[in-house]
A = this chain, B = another copy of it.
Amino acid sequence: MSALENLRFTIAQINPSVGDLDGNLDRILSVWKDNDQSSDLIIFSEMVLTGYPPEDLLHKSAFIDTCEEKIEYLIEQSLTKSSAILIGAPYRIDNKLYNAALMIDNGKLKSVTAKHHLPNYGVFDEKRYFTPSSETKAAEFRGTKLGIMICEDMWFDNIANDLKKQGAEILISVNGSPFEIGKLTARDLQARARVEETNLPLIYVNQIGGQDDLVFDGTSFVLDANGTKILTCKSFEEDVCPLSSHSERSEESPLKEELLFRATSLGLKDYMRKTGQKKVLIGLSGGVDSALAAAIAVDAIGAENIHAVMMPSEFTSQESLDDAALCAKNLGISYEIVPIKNMVATFIKDQPETTGLAHENLQSRLRGVILMTKSNMTGAMVVTTGNKSEMAMGYATLYGDMCGGYNPLKDMYKTTVYKICDWYNQTHDKKIPQNIITKAPSAELRPDQKDQDSLPPYEILDAILECLIEKDLSVSGTIEKGFDKDTVEKVARHLKIAQYKRNQSAPGPKLTPRAFARERRYPISNGYKG
Contacts and interface: CB of A to CB of B under 8 A. Distances in A.
B528 A63 contact: yes
Interface in A59-115: 59-63, 66
Contacts of A346: 342-343, 345-346
A59 B472 contact: yes
Nearest to A403: B399
A22 B506 CA distance: 34
A20 B527 contact: yes
A198 to B, nearest CB: 29
A520 interface: yes
Contacts of A21: 527-528
Interface in A318-343: 338, 342-343
B358 A365 contact: no
Taken together, the copies of this chain in the complex come to: 2
A61 B507 CA distance: 28
A530 interface: yes
Contacts of A506: 504
A399 B376 contact: no
Nearest to A345: B346
Interface string A349-378: 111011101100110011011101110110
Q: Which of A121, A399, A403 has the most CB of B within 10 A?
A: A399
A121 to B, nearest CB: 6
Contacts of A520: 56
13 contacts: A18-B525, A20-B529, A54-B523, A56-B520, A57-B528, A60-B474, A66-B530, A120-B127, A274-B527, A343-B350, A361-B372, A362-B369, A365-B368
Interface of A: 17-23, 51, 53-57, 59-63, 66, 120-121, 125, 127-128, 210-212, 270-271, 274-275, 338, 342-343, 345-347, 349-351, 353-355, 357-358, 361-362, 365-366, 368-370, 372-374, 376-377, 398-399, 403, 405, 472-474, 476-477, 500, 503-507, 520-530
Nearest 6 Cβ contacts at the A-B interface: A20-B527, A19-B528, A62-B474, A358-B376, A274-B525, A346-B346
